[in-house]
Structure 1
Amino acid sequence: MSAFDPKMLEALVCPQTRQRLTYDASKQELVSKAAHLAYPIRDGIPVLLVDEARQLD
């Protein structure tokens, strides 16, 4: 399993809001606070698809 490089956050934005993402290492997710979505990271690769994102409460 590859690790996600947090330096990638500088280049990544939420595909829905175009806002910055935060990295949740414990859940291996990128979180969009603006969209209330958490995008999964699989094998070190962020899956930035709204259909794959988890809705946050």
Structure 2
Amino acid sequence: MLEALVCPFTQTALCYDAARQELVSKAAGLAYPIRGGIPILIADEARRLK
């Protein structure tokens, strides 16, 4: 299913970070949380990458 998910801002592929339970968009510099097995692809919920 991961292959079907893209960043809502950049439309680029997301990388899965199992340790943090996040989907990472390197292009946007955001990490989207996964809660209860559901990815939350909302900018206000995303963590900014340094």
What band does the TM-score fall into relative to the shorter chain? over 0.9
- Consecutive unaligned residues of structure 1, counting only runs of 5 or more, are 1-7
Percent identical residues: 72
* Structure of larger gyration radius: 1
TM-score, normalised to structure 1's length? 0.85
Amino acid across the alignment from 2:14: L
TM-score by length of 2: 0.97
Q: 2:24 pairs with 28, 31, 38, which one?
A: 31
Question: What is the root-mean-square deviation of aligned Cα atoms in Å?
Answer: 0.5
Counterpart CA distance in 2 for 1:13 and 1:51 is 17
CA distance in 1, matches of 2:9, 2:32: 11
Higher relative contact order (CA 8 A, sep 6+): 1
Q: Tell me the matched-pair count.
A: 50
Runs (5+) with no aligned partner, structure 2: none
